[in-house]
């Protein structure tokens, strides 16, 4: 920090409090994430310590002295500083009036998800009273009252966690404009790449001890007990709050998403389209891929059948992608039961198509003409294994038309089988067209835009839908250009298709 800046921040002259950005909001509501998004800007430095100054003090000069001391402590000088503290939320009205030259951001979140984040966490401060709905929400109501007290203040911006989660570029654009920070599309794209939830946490599963426990929208649908839901429904305060900020009781489900696509005029690609790589330039094209990555019991099989019945009811064709019959993930279900399930699928709709996962070849090593004689590879063994897989299903009356070769190799040091000329020739000789290698690139090249939805068992990732609309709203799909492709991948053997779906952070193609 320069000497001049130190004097300015010391409170001895006229400290420039317009350099400060204060983030607050609901506890477990995304304040840390919002602070990090703001600090990502090159002109902003984050104060790592939570500065709970508005709860502790009412004297303007005292607050300035404390903030100035923290800036000196971290030895950082920059045009702007950002600090976050959820505990400041109840005092937002007083704070924004005390410092009209500073900027304040309040991040809201669905109160049901806020409560679940408390209830599911195993961190000590969230146990006991904080894990009971009436106690937890009494605290959150006090926080929300601070936002109500700041109504009309021009230096306060309220944003929803869900908007930052599902429409990151547009929401960060709104934040930077409010803060009067210079930026461009490249900065927003880089922020999306570095600050998405999975990039920040380095995981894709719940960690109940972590600060960022899960980071999804709609987790209340899985963990909110019936009596807790009734508590919210009968709370006048929270029903009014939820209505005001557009939080509803109709979470997305697989059937609702498919119905939205149908209402938007979506045209399902039939089997010949998928094998030939055809599409309709004047329509919204829908590609449904159901991956049978796990069949562990009768419940899994029933869920696959329910999925197929929904598809047929909506008039959609689907592709059901199977693993080899001897895959360990099928060990709990006898081949005869899988055969009966496939026969049932064939009866439900003649537009269903069946594909074989070929990632198994990668586990056994990959081969092409240039390395066919390498001692690490046994070409005959690999080709025999492929034939064995196909023949095992043929014995059950199942003929595959597609090969799915997108399963990542478990031996990254080996050559990817998608480059294998010998294996591709063998697959073609058995009547299989490779979807990921041959068909998908044709469709992606021809489509005006490609949007992907991937449900990995009740958690949906949406990629490249540049819209913050609900995934079960037909308008989300109507706004796509003619000739667009929506690829919807599901895993019906993992979870009940009737369950509501949570949303992971929406992804966008980065520049």
Share of the chain above pLDDT 70, in %: 82
Cα–Cα distance, 114 to 337 (Å, whole number): 42
More confident residue, 383 or 45: 45
- What string of DSSP letters covers 286-353? EEEEEEE----SHHHHHHHHHHHHHHHHHT---EEEE--TT-GGGTTS-HHHHHHHHHHHHHH-TT-E
Cα–Cα distance, 436 to 43 (Å, whole number): 43
Q: How confident is the model at residue 182 (pLDDT cuts 50, 70, 90)?
A: very high
Query: Hey, is 44 helix, strand or coil?
Result: strand
- Decide if 102 contacts 18 (C-beta within 8 A): yes
- pTM passes above 0.95: no
- The candidate with the shortest Cα–Cα distance to 111, out of 129, 136, 79, 132, is 136
Second-level CATH architecture of 3-244: 3-Layer(aba) Sandwich (3.40)
Within 13 Å and on the Cβ side, how many CA atoms surround 207?
10
More confident residue, 30 or 210: 30
Pairing of strands 44-46, 80-84: parallel
More confident residue, 361 or 257: 257
Q: What is the mean pLDDT of residues 181-192?
A: 92
Dump pLDDT digits (tens) for 107-164. 999 999 999 998 886 555 555 677 799 999 999 999 999 999 999 999 999 999 999 9
CATH class label, 254-500? alpha beta
Where along the chain do the CATH 3.20.20 domains lie? 254-500
Dump pLDDT digits (tens) for 407-456. 443 443 344 444 456 667 777 888 888 888 788 888 888 889 999 999 98
Q: How confident is the model at residue 377 (pLDDT cuts 50, 70, 90)?
A: low
Query: Between the CA of residue 245 and those of 118, 242, 270, what are the distances in Å?
Result: 21, 5, 41
Residue whose pair of structure tokens reads 């047929």 in the numeric block: 312
Query: Hey, is 381 helix, strand or coil?
Result: helix
Where along the chain do the CATH 3.40.50.300 domains lie? 3-244
Question: What are 30's two structure tokens?
Answer: 């995304």
Q: How confident is the model at residue 43 (pLDDT cuts 50, 70, 90)?
A: very high
Cα–Cα distance, 204 to 231 (Å, whole number): 31
Cα–Cα distance, 135 to 114 (Å, whole number): 13
More confident residue, 276 or 435: 435
- Looking at residue 244, its pLDDT comes to 97
Residue 363 has pLDDT above 80, yes or no: no
Residue 23: partners with Cβ closer than 8 Å, 6 or more residues away? 31, 34, 35, 38, 82, 83, 84, 85, 104, 105, 107
- Looking at residue 91, its pLDDT comes to 98
Query: Hey, is 400 helix, strand or coil?
Result: coil
First to last CA, the chain: 34
Cα–Cα distance, 41 to 191 (Å, whole number): 9
- Looking at residue 8, its pLDDT comes to 46
- Looking at residue 276, its pLDDT comes to 66
- Looking at residue 253, its pLDDT comes to 95
Q: What is the mean pLDDT of residues 226-254?
A: 96
Cα–Cα distance, 132 to 12 (Å, whole number): 47
More confident residue, 201 or 54: 54
Q: What is the mean pLDDT of the chain?
A: 84
Cα–Cα distance, 478 to 272 (Å, whole number): 25
- Looking at residue 208, its pLDDT comes to 43
Least-confidence region, from 119-123, 467-471, 492-496:
119-123
- What string of DSSP letters covers 270-304? PHHHHHHT---TTSEEEEEEEEE----SHHHHHHH
More confident residue, 96 or 407: 96
Residue 214 has pLDDT above 70, yes or no: no
CA dihedral 203, 206, 212, 217 (to 10 degrees): 110
Q: What is the mean pLDDT of residues 479-503?
A: 92
- Looking at residue 39, its pLDDT comes to 95
Give phi and psi for 400, each to the nearest 5. Answer: -90, 145
- The candidate with the shortest Cα–Cα distance to 389, out of 325, 321, 305, is 325
- Looking at residue 419, its pLDDT comes to 42
- Looking at residue 204, its pLDDT comes to 55
Dump pLDDT digits (tens) for 57-94. 999 999 999 999 998 888 777 789 999 999 999 999 99
Q: How confident is the model at residue 232 (pLDDT cuts 50, 70, 90)?
A: very high
DSSP state for residue 509 in the 8-state scheme: -
Pairing of strands 266-268, 156-160: unpaired
Strand partners, 292: 322
Cα–Cα distance, 420 to 386 (Å, whole number): 13
């Amino acid at each position: 920090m320069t000497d001049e800046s130190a004097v300015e921040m010391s409170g001895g002259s006229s400290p420039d409090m317009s350099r400060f950005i204060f983030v607050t909001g609901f506890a477990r509501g995304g304040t840390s994430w919002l602070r990090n998004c703001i600090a990502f800007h090159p002109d902003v430095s984050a104060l790592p310590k939570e500065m709970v100054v508005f709860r502790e003090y009412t004297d303007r000069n005292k607050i300035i002295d404390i903030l100035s001391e923290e800036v000196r402590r971290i030895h950082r000088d920059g045009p702007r500083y950002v600090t976050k503290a959820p505990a400041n939320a109840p005092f937002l009205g007083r704070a924004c009036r005390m410092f009209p030259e500073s900027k304040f951001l309040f991040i809201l979140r669905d109160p049901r998800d806020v409560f679940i984040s408390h209830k599911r966490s195993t961190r000590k401060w969230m146990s006991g009273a904080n894990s009971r709905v009436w106690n937890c929400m009494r605290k959150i109501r006090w926080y929300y009252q601070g936002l109500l007290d700041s109504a009309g203040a021009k230096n306060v911006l309220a944003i929803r966690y869900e908007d930052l989660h599902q429409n990151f570029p547009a929401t960060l654009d709104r934040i930077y404009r409010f803060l009067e920070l210079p930026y461009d599309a490249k900065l927003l794209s880089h922020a999306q790449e570095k600050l998405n939830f999975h990039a920040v946490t380095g995981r894709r599963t719940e960690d109940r001890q972590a600060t960022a426990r899960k980071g999804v929208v709609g987790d209340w649908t899985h963990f909110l007990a019936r009596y807790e839901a009734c508590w919210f429904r009968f709370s006048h305060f929270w029903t009014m709050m939820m209505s005001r900020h557009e939080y509803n009781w109709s979470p997305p489900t697989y059937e609702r998403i498919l119905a939205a696509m149908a209402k938007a005029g979506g045209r399902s690609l039939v089997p010949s389209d998928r094998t030939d790589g055809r599409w309709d330039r004047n329509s919204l094209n829908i590609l449904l891929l159901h991956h049978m990555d796990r069949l562990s019991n009768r419940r899994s099989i029933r869920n696959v059948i329910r999925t197929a019945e929904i598809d047929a009811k909506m008039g959609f064709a689907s592709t059901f992608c199977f693993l080899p019959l001897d895959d360990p993930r099928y060990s709990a279900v006898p081949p005869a039961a899988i055969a009966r399930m496939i026969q049932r699928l064939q009866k439900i709709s003649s537009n269903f198509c069946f594909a074989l996962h070929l990632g198994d070849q990668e586990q056994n090593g990959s081969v092409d003409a240039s390395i066919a004689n390498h001692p690490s590879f046994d070409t005959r063994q690999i080709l025999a294994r492929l034939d064995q897989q196909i023949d095992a299903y043929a014995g059950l009356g199942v003929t595959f038309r597609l090969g799915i070769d997108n399963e990542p190799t478990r031996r990254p040091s080996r050559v990817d089988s998608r480059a294998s000329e010998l294996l591709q020739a063998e697959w073609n000789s058995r009547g299989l067209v490779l979807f990921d290698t041959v068909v998908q690139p044709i469709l992606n090249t021809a489509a005006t835009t490609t949007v992907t939805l991937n449900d990995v068992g009740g958690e949906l990732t949406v990629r490249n839908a540049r819209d913050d609309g609900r995934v079960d709203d037909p308008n989300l799909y109507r706004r796509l250009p003619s000739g667009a492709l929506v690829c919807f991948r599901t895993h019906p053997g993992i979870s009940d298709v009737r369950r509501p779906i949570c949303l992971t952070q929406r992804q966008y193609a980065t520049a």
